[in-house]
Chain A
Amino acid sequence: MSAREATALDGVRSRTVDPRAGYRAAQRRESMRAFLLAVPLLIFLAMTFIVPIGKLLIMSVKTDEVANAVPKTAALLARWPGPPALPSRQTFEALAADLQAAQDGGTLASAARRLNTYEPGFRSLLLKTVRQMPIAEGEQADEALLRIDRRWGEPETWRLLGRAAHRWTPDFLLTAMDHRVGVSGAIEPVEPSQAIYVGAFVRTFAISASVALICLVLGYPVAFLLATLPARQSNFLMIFVIVPFWTSLLVRTTAWYVLLQPNGVFNALLIRSGLTTAPMALMFNRTGVLIGMTHVLLPFMILANYAVMRGISPAYQRAAVSLGAHPALAFLRIYVPLTLPGIGTGAFLVFVLALGYYITPALLGGAGDEMISQLVALQMDRQLNWGLAGALSVYLVVFTLAVYVVFNRLVGIDRLRLG
């Protein structure tokens, strides 16, 4: 090969490489341009949705109220080997100084609230102690604290204070699963009387699954009928599904609230028809929750199945029947499998929406039968326990996302259609 030929070949090569690189660059630009269109929404959701939820989830493991309020004590307690011995006199002195500083600095209240979640009564202990500060001249800090309250003489008090003074804690995540770190430092279940959260999670799942199943049983035949009827009739019957769908959730829950009362319309009907003699308890219990939630979520199931069923040609089933299959068999083996995406979408929507339900169970449910959302709200409303509210949210969000991911794998989120 001559040098000239080689240069010519190089030229060809570079010309064939260049357009490809140019094409790839253009593709990258195109892809960037498409992405830029979604950026404003992504930024908006980051601010109003992703960052806030991330912050709540961090709250479930972060606790710096106590560490910030009593920094010197916290540092000393970190070096204390723990019970049965009491901490050093130095620690007592540090606590007396810290408490006074915290009182002046305004950090005492949140620390006291935080400590109260470890041991009810801790708040009053702190407030009682701080009220008698400063310690009289000549009195030793440990003697003074013991004089103010005997609990300062118990190593357990100091152990709890030391635990609460950590900046990161597994405690809330454990509490939300009815566990705790015991005296020995090992993880152990809490007493049965305090174990309420696992039961609430199980209950939330059971209620959501029941509602999804009831909706499927009620909704599937309706969707089938709507999909197979002539357009005129099915459009008319569709009103019965869509108008409730558009009606405010609160209106529908209020309706059941009125109907299911002991002296409400439903009980009056039951008594007049002779089915019962005394009013039945239809609300403030599981029955009320199931009725209300099924009613609210049923349209989602019907619409999801209807959307899939409408696209199924009746020819498949007819072919099976003409080949000798019993119509029932043809329905079960040919039609039902074709509707699986609809069943999947409907069941997913109903189940996931039910997992996070708050309003309907709050109004129609009974005491002791709360769903997780209600307990999260309770931690916020009455206890101001951010950590536990965050920990319960962690599990609820993780479970919800797990269902979401499974659905996305099996059916695909792009199948979600509205309207």
Chain B
Amino acid sequence: MTAQDPVVLRLAGIVKTFPGVRALDGVELEVRAGEVHCLLGQNGAGKSTLIKVLAGVHRPDAGEIVWQGEPTSFSNPQAATKAGIATIYQELDLVEDLTVAENVFLGHEPRTGGFVQRGRMRRSTREILGRLGHAEIPVGRAVGKLPAAAKQIVSMGRALSYDARLIIMDEPSAVLAHDEVANLFRVIRDLTAQGIAVIYISHRMEEIREIGDRVTVLKDGRTSAVNLPARTTPTAELVSRMTGRSIEYVFPDRPAPAADRPSAPLLKVEGLTRHGEFTDISLTVGAGEIVGIAGLVGSGRSELLETIYGARRAHAGQVRVDGRSLPAGQVGAAVRAGVGMAPEERKSQALVLDEPIYRNVTLASFGKYATGGFTNADRERKAAEKVADALALHPRDVRRPVRTLSGGNQQKVVLGRWLLGQGTKLLLLDEPTRGVDIGARAELYQVIRALADDGMGVLLVSSEVPEVLGLADRVLVMREGHLIHEAPAAQLDEETVLDLVMAGSLLEVTAP
């Protein structure tokens, strides 16, 4: 790329608001032909929303998209594809049972009078794969039988089949092994040599250094830096651009380290392993302690939490609560032992949305309010109302369907489920503030701290490093299925943790 290359895409002042959240708040972006433009930002900074705006999935509320010199707005994904913008999402949108050629030309098959010209489609596919340097991929093979790296090439082939001038890649290296990444980079260089622009999204700093030309940094829905040189900008500057916060997180005070903490931990995990997800994890959580796990999506943190809870069956290792070992893969046993969980996907994993609040609060305990198998709605409602008062749930009418509540209040319902006096001792919280606005977040933090002060042990997973650092007493850093660092939260700062989760320089120093 040189400075003379024409600008193919320019975004100015892009704003996108969803109910309750301003996801994009004035985003600038300039992409030149033939460059690899990296997009950097923490989870929640607005990267995915921005991609979807470019891909025609979302329409911006304000701002200008100039595509190849023309102000444009894409009303749907097809319009963006036709204009020459192709998006390769993290979860590849390939049809596993169709062949490579059928996938490449899915939706725009060459045809005569309704009949697909299969021969021409195969030839074109072969030619496209050749351009990508992967003529060896058999065009007649079902895509489901290909390895992940080849699938990605097929996805790129689809982009080329539309004659894309800009390809957006959302964390393409996340599913690839090391040598496959090198191969991917070779393909990307070939593409850019042909004048195609690439927007590359990755958490891995070393990749951005290697493949990127320029970097734009997103933070809290705004661009905090544009067009930094990818190779020469110091890591410290990039990280501070990502983290320098305009929004104050309000965290409750940590209590002074209790000297009389019981010696036996409440939760003791030893050598827990699930192949392909995480390996040999050992950790403890004491009563009254909040332990935070920092790690990227895909680092195995959610899987770890679900395995401790018994929602997934461990391949090796042990989970002990209060010294008693939990049977693998049995949620019921974990619940009886006093473990509660607020899963990552509140709506799909935790709530029965059309049922009233009180029934969601008592979902794990309605049997305890029943006599001889007959439920007692009055007692359940009273118990739920008590919890609703304690958590300042809004609205208070516990007969309202959960669907009508805001994200923060839905999360309170999930938390409240474990606070009904059924003896929950340990709470597993997976992204407890996802999709919750800042005011409600502060409230949730207070609630979680208050629970710990009452002796509850809390194991918390969050993508947001400030949240882990601000809320937890002790922090574990997880990366690619391994625990790589452990320290009291007070001894860590955001840059250090980000460096660790992104495989930065500290890894070599501290990893055992």
Same complex for A and B? Answer no
* A residues apposed to B, CB below 8 Å: none
